[in-house]
């Protein structure tokens, strides 16, 4: 529905006069997020200060059927934080406070606009941390990472965001402010609405507060880098480590193109034959770290002759930063001016990884597209970074390749999204995935669940579900 | 209603040998494990073929009959107790298990017990971490529906944290799948975690893919006996920081009961016992010992296998002791934020005085989860009234302290009123409405475990 002057005045009053952006130049930044999915400039941007304002605005939006998209860090890689309709964007970045830290009870209470790196900087002072660690942690927020169930480098050990949220305050599309979950480490008190909210990509309502579980920092850890010519050996080496009962803190792989993009920051000697590098972090008590690292080195040496262990914290920090910056670094590898790099995000079971990678490589070769690979190999999560011209034919090519990669993942019992979400980029792929598995009924149920929270379908319409 | 026709159809669908209507069989299915609630079902259908779940549900739809899917029947909150007009689907015969080490999961049908699952995993030196004390009877389907916990929660969390994928049968008999057997998955809404803990009210779990991990190489065990209960609670908070494998507590009454029942002679200290396992290395055992040495009057580090097991028995028996020592008992399952543990246990002690009832408290203290078990005599009116009042007070105090009336045993039939009280106290009236709407959406005719959660 069009927002006429009367409705506009109502919204201004509901949101607070100073919290509404109307001028074109103020709204332009909201047209895009970190994805290449085209968005629209919203009618209005609202930057609320509290959940009451959000509740009042959503009541009006449901009443007048106005489309709403929620946004915080704007780092979505699948277009879930841009709008495709003539609606409003609610930006939660003014709600950026850490409300309570309870070390004894192991939780921290945050508003949605708190950035992950800021949260961890704060927690580290107390010897604790919040494990979910997407590569965008400098910009991504508590609210955004909950709504996309973000993963990241440490997920191999600590799991994705959903394992770290104890409860929420949430405003439903109809403006009801609800609380879900508890401050306790476990509970069984009715249906787990918190679980539904996590990963819902702003399609149910607006998250306004989160109770997050925290962990003590690992006592001590070391990093083992190893180099390979063949992707099969990378997978086998990691399987051998895991089968020995050792779950690494992180387990990352990258191909030569990715290595080259961050080579100057890595500052280590990389053997000439290298096509792939595996990076494994092992943690332990101070007393037994050395023995544990030696044990892992021994296992990995069965698969490659070149193993490099780094124990110096400063060097480890530099490498970690370089890995997290890999996607941005790849942007500098573009050959043409109008080229873009689109990051894929499929996942397969560990045993299917080598065969899947092979199929992906075949598809890439066949289509003659420039692609570089890295990912959280400990989870079977592959990020294929596709270089493409930002033209109609270029994007069509990308879409075709993305579909090929997705189908390869589905054939190998995997999924079209591991941690970046669905948004508008993958809603068709998600449909294909459920269709392939004969479980379209599951998607239908999800749509009905959306209607329970959002009867007028105003929240982030067009995301997740393919119409 | 025409029962004869119903039975005929059930026999048609599931086979004559699998449909039971005689009292002798039905009586086994009339109750759960602890609570005194019971009610006779209309009939019992043993599911020997996975396709029969859907067939039976379709018949239940036709006759508008309530269905309870039952595994081990070990629910302590009456979640498996029939309502009027209830058909029990016994899923226990569906117990096939398949382990995939490389992909890190076990694929198990709903009727497999957790013990069967772990025996299979053990062949490869792997295990499924959640371990409710009823592992020998509780099934995969039951543990998922109850979102069970257990001793190892302090480190490994609850069942929910271990589910990758579910095959389910919905209220109209159609079948579908949620999730995938991989470690991270974004496939729209997270329905798996909605089903976990839903106590059979949303759909029937047919088969699950569960994460497994390598077994710890060596476990170190240590127990501290305390004169003062506050010191014991302080020790729990301090040890929690060392990420122990288990972190358990039994109070004085639990120790006394275990000594009496099993003929042990463990120190009967007024402040109870703190029990911790660690699987890292010996330095962690030393660190825990140092924490205990501050205030414990006695520390025991088991030196042989018998001692290792016996000291664990103290904690285990504390849970069932009131049931052994008294004609009747009710099960407590409160959970509070860890910083409120001390307040909670002291309140339990005050409540014991106030009502003059027997309470032995043990629990997964490392999670803030306590089981105050109250024993009494249901035939002694005055006494049993006090038992119930005491439990009510304890539950309400847990909510007041920012906690919950159930940590891991669920709501079932016996905590329905308490659940409503809890949600109201926390001003979550709207949350109740959303939960009810979700139930309606999954099960519009209200035929799946009617009478659980809400009326």
β-bridge mates for residue B298, sequence order? B225
Same domain membership, residue B244 and residue B229: yes
| Statement to judge: residues B364 and B340 lie in one domain | yes
Contact B402 A419 (CB under 8 A): no
The answer on pLDDT for A327 being more than 90 is no
Q: Name the closest residue on chain A to residue B284, using Cα atoms.
A: A285
Mean pLDDT of chain B: 93
Of A280, A312, A328, the residue at which a domain comes to its end is A328
CA A460 to chain B, closest CA, distance in angstroms equals: 13
Closest CA to B333 of B293, B305, B363: B363
Q: Supply the pLDDT for residue B166.
A: 97
Pick from B174, B283, B337: which is nearest to A184 by CB? B337
Over residues A93-117, the pLDDT tens digits come to 999 999 999 999 999 999 999 999 9
B184/A413 Cβ within 8 A: no
CB within 8 Å: B338 and A285: no
Residue B412 lies in a domain: yes
Closest CA to A41 of A54, A59, A22: A22
B232 and B351 share one domain: yes
Per the structure, the count of domains in chain B is 3
A-facing residues of B in 332-351 (CB < 8 A) are 335-340
Reduce the DSSP state of residue A443 to 3 states and report it.
helix
For residue A88, the domain's CATH number is 3.30.465.10
Q: Tell me: do A255 and A345 sit in the same domain.
A: no
Binding-face residues of A in 366-405 toward B, CB within 8 A: 376, 379-381
Least Cα separation, residue A439 to chain B (angstroms): 5
Chain A nearest CA to B438, separation (Å)? 7
- CB count, 10 Å around CB of A431? 19
Long-range CB pairs of B415-420, under 8 A, 24+ apart, other chains included: B415/B77, B416/B452, B416/B453, B416/B454, B416/B455, B418/B392, B419/A189, B419/A190, B419/B453, B419/B454, B420/B454
The closest alpha carbon to B159, from B172, B141, B175, belongs to: B141
| B residues 5-64 lying closer than 8 A (beta carbon) to A | none
* Shared-domain flag, residues B342 and B366: yes
Q: Which residues of A touch B281 (CB under 8 A)?
A: 284-285, 287-288
Please state, as a whole number, how many other Cβ atoms lie within 10 Å of the Cβ of residue B35: 21
pLDDT at A259: 94
User: A227 and A186 in one domain?
Assistant: no
Last residue of a domain, one of B160, B186, B214: B214
- Which residues, 6+ apart, have CB-to-CB distance to A56 below 8 Å? A14, A15, A175
Whether residue B434 and residue A453 make contact (CB cut-off 8 A), yes or no, is: yes
Instruction: Evaluate whether residue A108 is within a structural domain.
Output: yes
In a domain, A430, yes or no: no
Q: Do B49 and B180 have their domain in common?
A: no
B214/A242 Cβ within 8 A: yes
Query: Closest residue of A to B100, CA-based?
Result: A351
Which residue in A102, A187, A414 is closest to B335 by CB distance?
A: A187
Please indicate whether, in this complex, the C-beta atoms of A415 and B187 are within 8 angstroms of each other. Answer: yes
Q: Tell whether A266 and A381 lie within a shared domain.
A: no
Q: Which of A328, A363, A390 is the last residue of a domain?
A: A328
Q: Do A210 and A354 share a domain, yes or no?
A: no
Cβ within 8 Å, pair A379-B184: yes
Q: Is the pLDDT of residue A155 over 90?
A: no
Check which CATH number belongs to the domain holding B157 and give it: 3.30.465.10
Identify the DSSP state of B108. Answer: E
- Calculate mean pLDDT across residues B378-398: 95
Domain residues for the domain of A405 are 334-420
The verdict on A282 touching B (C-beta cutoff 8 Å) is no
Decide if A185 and B368 are in contact by the 8 Å CB cutoff.
yes
> Do residues A78 and A426 lie in contact, with contact meaning Cβ atoms separated by under 8 Å?
yes
Same-domain pairing of A246 and A146: no
Residue B423 lies in a domain: no
Considering the domain architecture, whether residues A228 and A279 belong to the same structural domain is answered as: yes
pLDDT digit string, tens, across residues A259-300: 999 998 888 899 999 999 999 999 988 888 899 999 999 999
d(CA A196, CA A191): 9
Residue B56 belongs to some domain of the structure: yes
Same domain, B11 and B77: yes
- Residue A429, domain member (yes or no): no
Domain residues for the domain of B8 are: 3-90
Residues in chain A within 8 Å Cβ distance of B422:
189
pLDDT at A329 over 60: yes
B402: which chain A residues are within 8 Å (Cβ-Cβ)?
A: 182-184
In a 3-state reduction of DSSP, which class is residue A386?
Answer: strand
Min CA distance, A253 vs chain B (Å)?
17
List chain B residues with CB under 8 Å of A452. Answer: 434, 437-438, 441
Cβ within 8 Å, pair A413-B161: no
Residue B279 is predicted with a pLDDT of 86
Q: Is residue B444 part of a domain?
A: no
| Residue B433 resides in a domain | no
Count the helix, strand and coil residues of chain A and give each as a percent rounded to the nearest 5: 40, 25, 35
With contacts defined as CB-CB under 8 Å, which chain A residues touch B416?
none
Residue B387 forms part of a structural domain: yes
Chain B residues closer than 8 Å to A151 by CB: 184
**Tell me, what's the ipTM?**
0.89
Using the Cβ of A100 and the Cβ atoms of chain B, whether some distance falls under 8 Å is answered with no
Backbone angles phi, psi at A135, to 5 degrees: -60, -20
Q: Answer whether residue A428 is part of any domain.
A: no
Residues A323 and A339 in one domain: no
Contact list in B for residue A184 (CB cut-off 8 A) is 335-337, 367-369, 402-404, 407
Residues A348 and A388 in one domain: yes
What's the CA gap between A162 and B161, in Å, rounded? 9
State whether B296 and B178 are in the same domain: no
Closest partner residue to A179 (CB to CB) among B237, B338, B426 is: B426
* Other CB atoms within 10 A of residue A65 CB: 11
- Tell whether A102 is within 8 A of chain B (Cβ): yes
Kindly tell me if the per-residue pLDDT of B1 is higher than 60: no
The whole-angstrom separation of Cα A89 and Cα B372 is 49
Mark whether A300 and A446 lie in a shared domain.
Answer: no
Provide mean pLDDT across the span B42-60. 97
The residue among B214, B246, B262 that closes a domain is B214
Q: What is the mean pLDDT of residues A104-131?
A: 96
8 A C-beta contact, residue A242 and residue A299: no
Q: Do B192 and B101 belong to one domain?
A: yes
Strand pairing class (B105-109; B126-127): unpaired
CA distances from B150 to A126, B159, B405 (A): 29, 9, 16
Residue A74 within any structural domain of the chain:
yes
Residue B363 within a domain: yes
Per-residue pLDDT at A245? 76
Measured between CA atoms, the residue of chain A closest to residue B217 is A245
- B136 to chain A, any CB pair closer than 8 A? The answer is no
d(CA B446, CA B200): 11
Which of B148, B180, B214 is the endpoint of a domain?
B214
Residues 229-248 of A with CB under 8 A from B: 239, 242-247
Residue B101: pLDDT over 60: yes
Sign of the CA dihedral with A332 first, then A335, A336, and A341 last = negative
Claim to verify: residue B147 and residue B69 sit in the same structural domain: no
B46 with B106, same domain? no
A-B C-beta contacts closer than 8 Å: 253
CATH number assigned to the domain comprising residue B26 = 3.30.43.10
Strand order in the sheet with B97-100: B97-100, B105-109, B204-211, B163-169, B175-179
Please check whether residues A51 and A170 belong to one and the same domain. yes
Q: What is the pLDDT of residues B162-216, one digit of tens each?
A: 999 999 999 999 999 999 998 887 778 999 999 999 999 999 999 999 999 988 8
- DSSP for B40-91, please give it: --SEEEE--STHHHHHHHHHHHHHT-EEEEESS---TTSTT---TTEEEEE-
CB–CB contact A418 B185 (8 Å): yes
| Max CA distance (Å), chain B | 71
Average pLDDT over residues A46-75: 96
* Domain-ending residue, one of A313, A328, A343: A328
Q: Are B201 and B180 in a shared domain? A: yes
Q: Domain check: are B23 and B128 in the same one?
A: no
Residues 6+ apart with CB under 8 A from B39: B30, B31, B81, B82, B83, B84, B86
Which CATH number belongs to the domain containing residue A311 in this structure? 3.30.70.2190
Q: Look at chain A and report how many structural domains it folds into.
A: 3
Which pLDDT belongs to residue B312?
Answer: 93
- How far is CA A351 from its chain centroid? 23
B145 occurs within a structural domain: yes
Q: Would the pLDDT of B35 be above 80?
A: no
Tell me if chain A has a CB within 8 Å of the CB of B176: yes
Which H/E stretch holds residue B252?
helix B252-262
Nearest CA in chain A to B172: A441
CA B223 to chain A, closest CA, distance in angstroms equals 21
pLDDT exceeds cutoff 60 at B218: yes
The distance of A345 to chain B (nearest Cα, Å) reads 10
Going by C-beta distance under 8 Å and a sequence separation of 6 or more, which residues neighbour residue B340? A105, B368, B401, B402, B403
Average pLDDT over residues B408-429: 87
Q: Is A105 on the interface with B (CB under 8 A)?
A: yes
- Tens of pLDDT, residue by residue over B357-375, are 999 999 999 989 999 999 9
Q: Chain A residue with minimal CA distance to B426?
A: A179
Do A248 and A112 belong to one domain?
no
Concatenated DSSP letters of A197-244? HTT-TTSSEEEEEEEEE-EEPPSEEEEEEEEES-HHHHHHHHHHHHHT
Instruction: Please indicate, yes or no, whether residues A208 and A267 belong to a single structural domain of this protein.
Output: no
- Mean pLDDT across the stretch A208-236? 92
């Amino acid at each position: 529905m069009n927002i006429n002057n009367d409705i506009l005045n109502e919204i201004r009053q509901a949101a607070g006069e100073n919290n509404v952006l109307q001028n074109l130049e103020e709204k332009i930044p909201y047209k895009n997020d970190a994805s290449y999915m085209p968005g629209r400039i919203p009618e209005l941007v609202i930057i609320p200060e509290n959940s009451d304002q959000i509740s009042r605005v959503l009541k009006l939006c449901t009443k007048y059927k106005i489309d709403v998209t929620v946004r915080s860090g704007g780092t979505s890689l699948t277009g879930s934080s841009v709008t495709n309709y003539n609606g409003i964007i609610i930006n939660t970045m003014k709600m950026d406070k850490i409300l309570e830290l309870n070390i004894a009870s192991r939780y921290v209470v945050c508003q949605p606009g708190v950035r992950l790196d800021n949260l961890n900087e704060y927690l580290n002072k107390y010897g604790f941390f919040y494990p979910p660690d997407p590569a965008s942690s400098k910009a991504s927020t508590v609210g955004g990472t909950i709504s996309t169930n973000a993963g990241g480098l440490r997920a191999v050990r600590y799991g994705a965001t959903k394992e770290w949220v104890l409860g929420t305050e949430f405003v439903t599309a109809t403006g009801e402010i609800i609380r879900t979950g508890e401050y306790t480490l476990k509970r069984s008190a009715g249906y787990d609405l918190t679980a539904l909210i996590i990963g819902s990509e702003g399609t149910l309502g607006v998250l306004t507060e989160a109770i997050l579980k925290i962990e003590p920092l690992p006592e001590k850890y070391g990093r083992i880098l190893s180099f390979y010519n063949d992707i099969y050996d990378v997978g086998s080496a990691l399987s051998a480590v895991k089968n020995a009962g050792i779950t690494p803190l992180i387990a990352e792989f990258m191909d030569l193109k990715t290595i080259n993009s961050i080579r100057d920051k890595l500052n280590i000697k990389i053997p000439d034959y290298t096509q792939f590098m595996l990076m494994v972090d092992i943690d332990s008590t101070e007393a037994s770290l050395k023995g544990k690292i030696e044990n892992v080195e021994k296992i990995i040496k069965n698969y490659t002759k070149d193993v490099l262990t780094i124990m110096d914290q400063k060097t480890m920090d530099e490498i970690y930063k370089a890995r997290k910056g890999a996607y941005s670094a790849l942007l500098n590898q573009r050959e043409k001016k109008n080229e873009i790099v689109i990051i894929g995000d499929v996942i397969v079971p560990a045993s299917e990884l080598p065969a899947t990678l092979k199929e992906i490589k075949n598809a890439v070769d066949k289509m003659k597209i420039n692609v570089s690979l890295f990912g959280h190999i400990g989870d079977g999560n592959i990020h294929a970074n596709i270089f493409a011209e930002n033209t109609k034919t270029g994007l069509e090519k990308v879409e075709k390749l993305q579909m090929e990669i997705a189908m390869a993942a589905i054939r190998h019992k995997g999924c079209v999204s591991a941690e970046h979400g669905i948004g508008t980029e993958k809603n068709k792929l998600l449909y294909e995935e459920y269709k392939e598995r004969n479980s379209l009924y599951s998607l239908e149920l999800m749509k009905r669940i959306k209607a329970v929270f959002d009867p007028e379908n105003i929240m982030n319409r067009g995301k997740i579900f393919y119409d | 209603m025409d029962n004869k026709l119903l039975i005929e159809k059930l026999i048609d669908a599931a086979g004559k040998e699998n449909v039971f209507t005689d009292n002798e069989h039905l009586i086994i299915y009339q109750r759960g494990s602890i609570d005194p609630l019971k009610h006779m079902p209309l009939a019992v259908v043993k599911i020997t073929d996975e396709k029969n779940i859907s067939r039976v549900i379709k018949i239940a739809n036709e006759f508008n009959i309530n269905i309870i899917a039952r595994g081990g029947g070990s629910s302590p909150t009456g979640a498996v107790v029939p309502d009027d007009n209830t058909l029990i689907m016994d899923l226990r015969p569906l117990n096939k298990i398949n382990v995939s080490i490389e992909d890190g999961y076990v694929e198990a049908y709903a009727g497999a017990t957790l013990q069967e699952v772990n025996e299979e995993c053990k062949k490869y030196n792997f295990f499924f971490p959640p371990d409710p004390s009823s592992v020998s009877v509780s099934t995969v389907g039951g543990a998922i529906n109850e979102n069970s916990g257990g001793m190892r929660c302090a480190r490994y969390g609850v069942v929910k944290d271990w589910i990758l994928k579910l095959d389910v049968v919905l209220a109209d008999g159609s079948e579908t799948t949620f999730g995938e057997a991989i470690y991270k998955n974004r496939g729209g809404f997270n329905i798996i975690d909605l089903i976990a803990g839903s106590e059979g009210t949303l759909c029937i779990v047919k088969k699950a893919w569960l994460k497994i991990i390598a077994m710890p190489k060596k476990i170190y065990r240590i127990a501290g006996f305390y004169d003062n209960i506050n010191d014991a609670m302080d020790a729990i908070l301090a040890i929690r920081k060392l990420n122990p494998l288990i972190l358990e507590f039994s109070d004085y009454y639990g120790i006394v009961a275990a000594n009496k029942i099993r003929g042990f002679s463990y120190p009967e200290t007024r402040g109870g016992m703190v029990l911790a396992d660690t699987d890292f290395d010996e330095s962690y055992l030393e660190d825990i010992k140092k924490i205990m040495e501050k205030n414990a009057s006695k520390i025991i580090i088991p030196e042989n296998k018998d001692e290792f097991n016996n000291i664990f028995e103290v904690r285990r028996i504390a849970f069932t002791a009131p049931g052994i020592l008294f004609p009747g008992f009710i099960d407590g399952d409160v959970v509070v934020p860890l910083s409120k543990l001390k307040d909670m246990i002291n309140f339990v002690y005050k409540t014991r005085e106030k009502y003059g009832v027997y309470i032995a408290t043990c629990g997964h203290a490392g999670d803030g989860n306590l089981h105050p078990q109250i024993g009494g005599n249901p035939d002694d009116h005055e006494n049993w009234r006090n038992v119930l009042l005491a439990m009510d007070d304890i539950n309400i105090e847990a909510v007041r302290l920012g906690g919950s009336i159930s940590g891991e045993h669920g709501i079932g039939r016996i905590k329905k009123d308490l659940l409503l009280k809890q949600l109201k106290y926390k001003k979550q009236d709207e949350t109740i409405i959303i939960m009810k709407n979700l139930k309606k959406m999954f099960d519009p005719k209200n035929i799946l475990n009617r009478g659980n959660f809400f009326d």
